Chains A and B, each alone.
Chain A
């Protein structure tokens, strides 16, 4: 009966050996390749640092003006522009300007990295069913595995700092963009693709002239999701040394500072809402002309 009530596992000793050997192998790996990998990411680090400094050192009125301008370009909506200006003034007045700029920097760079990596993978996935069946489970893992689990090897390899934080953010924020790019391209009307074929379009002309433009609303929804998920990772990223609004939130959690947590938390929410609305409005405007509207 003992056999049925306790699961017959492989035994403590064996288990310990397995874990030990995995850990040792990875340690060896990180010892011999860690530096190389660090070098590989060095340009990214430099760019991130540069961008963060740029945001922090630029006089705040210029930053607010630029952000308001971007909000206007994206949404063509005065309410949103006013909301953006007011939010940033309140953030600054409550002493969170520097942290907000740091967060803005990492979110922007993470989004750029995700776009640079995610869209090509999404396209690849749409082109080949085989790739889709390989990438889909990987995306599932990236989205569901607890962030702390993949933070361990990342930190072992690269130490604490901005780059591991950026990677952690990207791992979490990348999947929706890949998925939605894939979906958008697969949803392109078969008849329109057939027309492109019938006029002799080559694969490149089809991709850039038909598939990507028609998938753009979906790709944009993906970018929007990526930004939102990157913001959601701010606090976790702060645990491995990323500066920004996550740091005070973490402090607040550890010391039960209600007001501090609330203020910085709300600042993240404000950023999220602004990004979300502006990018959604922009996505909508992209589609406007093609969904009819003015019938003559």
Chain B
């Protein structure tokens, strides 16, 4: 991120589900774990002391397996779920202090949402679905139509405006969901496992659409997923959630190179490391024998291709035009080796 403006800040957020969450809050705050809380009080720990600073204009991925609390967390940001304790600050304003009217206004104009199962209105046509957020704001007919047509075309569904959602495939339905969220021009886009229900090829398509839109829209996107490849592909920052607590936050590079614990390490062991890791993270001082020059943000996958093509063993790495060091084929092989491959013994990449 080129700047450090914080868009959404979550502080000491707790969510306990059960008959009397307030009563057991203190136990959680004093460090009682999820299973112990369940056993002793029959209350379910949804979120435990979550702290995240989400920078503006980036994609923040929140990742975790099912039951880790990620969908609960994203619903706190627009207060579809009320927290047991904590603070949620968006643009310097405490969301939890808002009145019902202020909250509705916040949801209408500041934060829009895309849902895992699309949640389109089956009785409205595609264009009426895209216009839903504008309908609620009583935007005049003419403007409403123009804005929703614009976004429908941007997601590649021009010509389908008079169809009903049930007549579209899953991927197309989610594009309608995306257009509906974009049409309100909210700065914050909350995406709750938005692509998880789609098959892999369509999912990649949708990720491309999102990344392409983001290149020019620069929205603050909070993206929930259980799919690490997806997280690494689109995330500027990733937070990993387990049993309601955050176990690690960082850029994709940091997560892959320095997993905070075994849980994260286990997560990342099967990913294609060469596609995630960039030269910048394995560059060291020195000068290459070849005269190949590669940008610091080149992935190892691409770098290996360049070296093989030129029949070279190393390359100079630059950043913003200045040389920052050298990287050899061997460095790259070391970096993409699976961390649990035992015969090397060493963590060559760290």
Contacts and interface: CB of A to CB of B under 8 A. Distances in A.
B119 A194 contact: yes
Interface stretch (A76-84, A105-113, A154-162, A202-210): A202-210
B166 A199 contact: no
Q: Which of B105, B106, B122, B133 is the most central at the interface, judged by chain A CB atoms within 10 Å of its CB?
A: B122
A192 interface: yes
Nearest to A202: B104
A289 B167 CA distance: 9
Contacts of B24: none
B80 A292 contact: no
B: interface residue count bin: 20 to 34
A293 interface: yes
Contact of B166 (A195, A196, A290): A290
Interface string A38-49: 000000000000
Nearest to B101: A202
B167 to A, nearest CB: 6
Given A192-B119, A290-B122, A198 B107 contact: yes
B113 A205 contact: no
Contacts of A210: 121
A296 B133 CA distance: 27
Interface string B117-142: 10111110000000011011100000
Contacts of B106: 200
Interface in B157-179: 163-167
Interface in A274-296: 289-296
Contacts of A195: 113, 115, 119-121
Interface string A254-275: 0000000000000000000000
B108 A200 contact: yes
B115 A194 contact: yes
A219 interface: no
A67 B167 CA distance: 34
A296 B157 CA distance: 13
Contacts of B115: 191, 194-195, 198
A214 interface: yes
B119 A197 contact: no
A291 B107 contact: no
A75 B136 CA distance: 33
Contact of B121 (A192, A200, A291, A294): A192
Given A191-B117, A192-B121, A210-B121, A198 B166 contact: no
Contacts of A293: 166-167
B113 A198 contact: yes
A153 interface: no
B78 interface: yes
Interface of B: 78, 80, 103-109, 112-113, 115, 117, 119-123, 132-133, 135-137, 163-167, 180, 184, 190
Given A191-B119, A200-B108, 11 more contacts: A191-B117, A195-B113, A195-B121, A197-B80, A199-B107, A199-B113, A199-B184, A214-B121, A290-B122, A293-B166, A296-B167
